[in-house]
Structure 1
């Protein structure tokens, strides 16, 4: 091995020693002289002027001397040279001074000024991709400046960065001019190369226009996704249960309205998005859409409906809860995810689904069917009774959970003057009963209501509700205090209407008596009525009306027969509108044989325990009326057997 190396070295020595000394380069000979004006370094094309600094009889120059040959091609009396390509060049001067050949060399540095080779691809919409070719031109520069032509400023590319650069134009109605130039940062002789213009022509496909329009989950778990596609653009329809890990449900490349469907779990909510590839291979995801899932259950004759919250509130508009194809309720709050439907009837089936709406899309859940059930029906808790006229009382109730349904039975029970309750009627699909078999001025009536729902379940009887019976118990008006509605009584109001047109109403709070002061009024008679108002403000109930006269009416029979036949056995005087009452019965000799201060206690035809004889008798009455006036009247009657 060592011998081989020595042999090679000897051969090399022999070879190079055969070249004359001046063949090492004429630049080393010296003796000549010239300058390059205005500079010896700059951007191509570079022109240099030769300024000779010696006195010579002949001058010649080689423009691109290789630094080695001793017989270069010379140009006599050359004044300037122009270099159009980049590189480092040597100018050789050959001159004769006093019969001696002299030489001199000057270096010329020319920098690249060509534009780096650049191409672009329109990706769709306003997006383009610029690709620069790596070659000697690009390698010559420190940087490359790209002016996009849209006013966004010049992009500076540095050596070592990716040769692919993307840019998005916001305005695609005009074709901008892109300009590319090389930039030097390491010298001051040449700042950069030519700026080459490139007109951009946009392709129309715009990935951001590929958006979901609607999402619908069917009852069998098939998800239908409707979206606007672009022809030739590959679009994946993707779904995820957690918003992070997505799977592909389908892929299409067609334009226009597209429908993609695939099987999923109808009870599960998903996030759906579109993933599209542009003409440059770039990917863009659409805004995601949340699929909706609804759940339903039933208890206590109401249906509980719930659904998932829509994941994005940016463009959220509302939820629409649908029942049997009709909007049941809408909700503007994105956080509202449940609803209690009480407008249902036991035993009926209802189909619910939820529709989430944003400004641009709709997302519809699969339907769920709920059968309304009831563990045990509740007693009626909304009802009232009202005296309509002298011979009519109206009872009205709200059946729990009935809504607009009528498949129930309502049993009405009645009690008169505190007696036992007896069934008076059964209503079918109705909740208002009119009772004509009443005497509202003589008796008070209480009612209980019992309903049977469509499931065949019978509710407990409601609490009693009672009509208001207004009585004239001179000098007071009185009434009963049993509740006329299934709510607490807030107050009573006395309503007075005079025969001559005067009227007045007075809130007496929870009192059950009223003293009518008529001393300052001129009406001959008045009508009084009581109104009860409920605490919740939902009910009013009116009593019977009574006529209250200023003067006392007195009626005395002209005969009676105390024979124990049960008819007309007692002599009684009837009177109204008085404060006090006194009555005496006198025989033909002027003896008082009977006296009473109680109008309800008449003479039974007995004198000291023995039957009075048949014949004529005199009655005498003394009454103090409502104006505190004493009224005295008398008359005769006959005792018959």
Structure 2
């Protein structure tokens, strides 16, 4: 050790006195003050013989030996070498008989050295050079203390500042005796502290099946030892040494481990490199060994972590499902959780969060799974059917138990009670455009859930088929098939009655009866009527079912007397025909020989029994009428009547 100290002293003395040194050329015709140094080296060249270059007519040029053109030379000029390399500096004389002369020059690359300044307890700093490009390194603490020179194989130093604060440390390289001290310095800040603080882990997160990420708060220029304990929080091994000159938040990702098989506890130790001791410890935070398994109608979560005690006092656990935290939080004594709020075939993600004081967290690996179930889905109980007005299409809608996640519905259609598959769909509605009203068609539905479980068939749903007729007196009878398809049955049927223009005339609540007699004979304005039946369920959440539209047309019935007495007594003096819903009318009257006695196109006019002003004899006469009704239909009507002479 004493020998090394003497060498360092000699080096420093040499550096202080090196300005007096001179190096002679091969033939001693000139000398230089430097022959070695870093790029950017300046060499003063002095002529050693008389007369010197530039005097008494002696002309000289200097050749730098690095490819640059030779330049005129005068004793005392400076030769600059901007790049690294080995060169031969040469002086060329113009005087006859005077030999040229030269000297070798060695120039090394000039770069600031890499080093790390560390904080220590007691206002000390430790400086470590992390390279070996130079033979020696010179330390300057910028506090008026002397520079320190250390050989490359021992390029570290400890310095004691008088007070805490931020200081600048400079280090430059030096290639030893006979070398110019012109290498550039590197200057870095260092935090001088009376007491080194502890690091603070803020989060531990399992990133994937082979790595864990640890975030921790740090102080600049402190050297840390990153410690790991496997499946315990007491026995640690050093993973690596960490240093950052300026960062206040550091992240360390540990690869090639097995966080799904083990949990890992982490601690960050603050190192005092001056004393080679640990100055402080962070809290211990552990990763979570977490698993999630899909079971019948439940997802089972389980985990393991170091027990809550000492330097790692857990506060609670929190389960995060599909990026949403479930409440309440779980106690630290709990190591599993069963989620029953799931739907078969649905994908879920889970992550467990362990909470420590001061908002410190440990996050598990995110687990994804799909819920499973072997439960047989509930059969569909409520189907509604809406028949289009023409009765050649029906739209089915149904309600399915929301506890099951259906992926495919199968519709079955009956033909006289024999059910066969009609179609499949993933919607809760379907339109059958092959339906025919009045064909005794019914439907059943079953479905498969996301776990491939098949429900039973639904009860049959039979659309409302409406039929009717018009009696001779124009009384209208309508009947319909009772609706089936609702678990709780029909509450009531409503009849909507429209005229031929589609204007709603009345709405009739028919209770649960499936027939209705419309005896409204007083309406002589409307001849065409449209009827639609609406079925309403006892379950008010179910949509209504609707029948086909039924059109019924009343007859344009004609009425006439069997005889009349044309005697001008004001009673039954003319023969006329009256009718309902008549838009056009033409009538002719004939005697028994087929002679036409009378004709009119006015239904309100009648025959007075005369022909060409002569009263016709008592006899049987015949009328023939052509009419068109409000519905645009044409009819021929005829009949006979008796002309009576009444005194």
User: Shared fold (TM-score greater than 0.5)?
Assistant: no
Return the TM-score normalized by structure 2.
0.40
Return the TM-score normalized by structure 1.
0.41
